Amino acid sequence: MRWEHEDVLEAIQRRLDLNPEAMRQRREVVEHPFSTIKLRMGATHFLMKRLPKVRGEMALHVLAYNLTRVLNILGSQPLMAALRV
């Protein structure tokens, strides 16, 4: 008996077989934001203890990263105009 989405997995495998570098490139693209966040954290451990507090700390790091990206892409004027609304 086949899983109902087995054909999707086979198609993905065929694409990877045709282009083995695709997975390496995908890993590099995804790693960039996490390495940037880790660098901004000081490349150390979390300051908080217990999972709910660590989640909050990580959420703040991600928010800061996303705001920096918005500033770099749009500039400060459009961001400030959007915040005033």
C-alpha torsion 9→28→38→72, nearest 10:
-110
Among candidate residues 57, 27, 53, 29, the one with its CA nearest the CA of residue 44: 57
Q: Report yes or no: 62 and 37 within 8 Å, Cβ to Cβ.
A: yes
Tokens of 26: 């995908």
Judged by DSSP in three states, 27 sits in helix
pLDDT tens per residue, range 57-70: 889 888 988 888 88
Per-residue pLDDT reduced to its tens digit, 27-53:
666 667 777 777 777 767 778 889 999
- Predicted local distance difference test score (pLDDT) of residue 10: 92
Q: Which residue has the higher pLDDT, 55 or 45?
A: 55
pLDDT of 2: 77
Query: From CA 58, how far away is CA 52, in angstroms rounded?
Result: 10
Residues 10-31 have pLDDT tens digits of 998 998 888 888 777 776 666 6
Q: How far is CA 43 from the centre of its chain?
A: 17
Can you give the pLDDT at residue 11? 92
